[in-house]
Amino acid sequence: MTRKPPDITRSQPRRQAATATPAVRVPAPGEGKRGEQGYLGYLLRQAHAAVRLTMERSLADLGVTSPQFAVLTMLNAYPGLSGADVARLTFLTPQTVGVIIRNLERDGAIVMTPHPVHGRIQQWKLTPRGTTLLKACRERVIALEKRLAAGLDAKAEASIRRWLAGIAADLQED
């Protein structure tokens, strides 16, 4: 475990409470540290939060959350995944994926099949209902993706995709 240097952890003398300090204005997205001067990690998280909120709103009337959409997407791309595999691919905890899988199974969107060799491993795949639900979700998410890529030419979009995937691959090794 790395320890903080003493000058960071040392207690500072208490200051007198300032009287009538003006309220600090919180910058809007794109301003100050929430803009181009911000840390890349913060800007990535801010962008992710905005995308997730927009996705949640666009999928709400279908009764699907963005984590459920991620699970459906991965099971469509890789049928037969275990819950643990789904958790790793969707960046969700195994407990969260367990709840999502139970709800999707209850709703008839996915079905469990036992692993042919390891009987304790449960494999999941989409049902026809799940495929139809995912198709409806995808139409909305594709519209969001187009909005994200607006103003980018194919080369710039490919470069950003390569950069983002590279970050994930590089930092995965840490």
Least confident among 25-34, 44-53, 98-107 = 25-34
At 17, the pLDDT band (50, 70, 90 cuts) reads low
Instruction: Calculate mean pLDDT across residues 60-70.
Output: 97
Of residues 55 and 119, more confidence is placed in 55
Q: What number is the average pLDDT over the span 76-89? A: 95
Assess whether pLDDT exceeds 80 at residue 141. Answer: yes
Structure tokens at 92: 């969700």
pLDDT confidence band for 122 (50 / 70 / 90): confident
pLDDT score, position 8: 65
Which one-letter DSSP state was computed for residue 114? Answer: E
Q: What is the mean pLDDT of residues 108-121?
A: 84
Model's pTM, two decimal places? 0.79
Tell me what the mean pLDDT of segment 36-51 comes to: 94
* DSSP of the chain: -PPPPHHHHSPPPPPPPPSSPPPPPPPPTTSGGGTTTS-HHHHHHHHHHHHHHHHHHHHGGGT--HHHHHHHHHHHHSTTEEHHHHHHHHT--HHHHHHHHHHHHHTTSEEEEE-SS-TT-EEEEE-HHHHHHHHHHHHHHHHHHHHHHTT--HHHHHHHHHHHHHHHHHHHT-
Residue 18: per-residue pLDDT: 59
| 96 vs 83: CA distance, rounded Å | 10
